């Protein structure tokens, strides 16, 4: 029997996850199909419940469902519970287990693809959603010097910051307004965008969450947006003379973590990277 697995999110017009996950299954000649499952929030509960069927391996979960999905599975691990968001569901018999491989994907991409060691560094994180939560918990384990969370809604930033105040020496929050983050940005070693601002096909696809003048040339700018080779924020980083890292490595590494949970096999990371880059090129040529 062919097993089914897929990506639950809404909308999913430009996802490349099916391309590189299917390449991983095909690499091992596994009888599995990976699909994109656009799921309106009203249908999320029913979609997650359906994963208990014998034909399913599980699913990936993306925006806007990562936090809500954590409450719809039967069991989640301690780290996922602390984060309050999941991005992977694994079916074990009829039990659904939630995991968060975004923490692994974030740190692998930062260290391996970005060549960045977080220890002792000052970090500015833009956004306070599910992806931001994974980044915060990953950074909290790396002995960073300081973390500032900038978000349009300050209350969400404060709520997230409170979760790691005991693990990071200096934690602060600001509203995502130029004048409020100017000083923090100026001394940041790492600037991370965890929002969808700059995403292809989004409402703010041509916008950057941080203007060029606020990006120090000594910083690494890490944009989690993956479905455009060069986002507006990465263009701003280029203009500022800063190093930059796009979201594709994080996407592939978190996907590799999910693949290993579903199959118990080592993820063919290079195969997945190749398929992901080819899919992204096709998107670029189509636009």
CA distance 28 to 21: 11
CA distance 170 to 107: 20
Give yes or no for a contact between 257 and 233, defined as CB atoms under 8 angstroms apart: no
Strand, helix or coil at 101? coil
CA distance 9 to 109: 22
CA distance 124 to 157: 12
CB atoms inside a 10 Å sphere around CB 179: 9
- Looking only at the bridges linking them, the beta strands covering 220-223 and 190-193 are parallel
Sign of CA dihedral 83, 255, 193, 197: negative
CB atoms inside a 10 Å sphere around CB 270: 10
Sign of CA dihedral 239, 240, 243, 244: negative
CA distance 80 to 97: 10
- Which residue from 86, 167, 91, 155 is spatially nearest to 123, judged by alpha carbons? 167
- Tokens found for residue 217: 């040339």
Active site residues: 66
DSSP code of 4? E
């Amino acid at each position: 029997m062919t097993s089914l697995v897929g990506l639950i999110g809404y909308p999913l017009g430009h996802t490349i996850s099916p391309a590189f996950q299917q390449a991983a299954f095909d690499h091992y000649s596994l009888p599995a199909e990976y699909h994109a499952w656009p799921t309106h929030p009203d249908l999320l509960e029913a979609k997650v419940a359906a994963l208990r069927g014998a034909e399913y391996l599980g699913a990936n979960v993306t925006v806007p469902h990562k936090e809500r999905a954590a409450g719809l599975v039967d069991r989640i691990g301690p780290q996922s519970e602390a984060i309050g968001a999941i991005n992977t569901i694994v079916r074990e018999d009829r039990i659904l287990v939630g995991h968060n491989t975004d923490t692994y994907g974030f740190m692998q991409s930062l260290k391996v693809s970005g060549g960045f060691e977080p220890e002792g560094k000052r970090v500015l994180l833009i956004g306070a959603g599910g992806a931001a939560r994974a980044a915060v918990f990953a950074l909290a384990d790396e002995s960073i010097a300081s973390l500032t969370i900038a978000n349009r809604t300050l209350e969400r930033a404060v709520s997230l910051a409170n979760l790691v105040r005991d693990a990071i020496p200096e934690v602060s929050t600001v509203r995502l307004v130029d004048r409020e983050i100017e000083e923090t940005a100026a001394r940041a070693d790492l600037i991370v965008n965890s929002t969808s601002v700059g995403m292809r096909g989004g409402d703010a696809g041509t916008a950057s969450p941080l203007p060029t003048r606020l990006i120090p040339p000594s910083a690494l700018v890490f944009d989690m947006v993956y479905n455009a080779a060069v986002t507006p924020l990465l263009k701003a980083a280029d203009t500022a003379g800063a190093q930059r890292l796009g979201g594709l490595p994080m996407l592939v590494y978190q996907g590799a973590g999910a693949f290993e949970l579903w199959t118990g096999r080592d993820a063919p990371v290079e195969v997945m990277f190749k398929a992901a880059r080819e899919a992204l090129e096709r998107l670029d040529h189509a636009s």
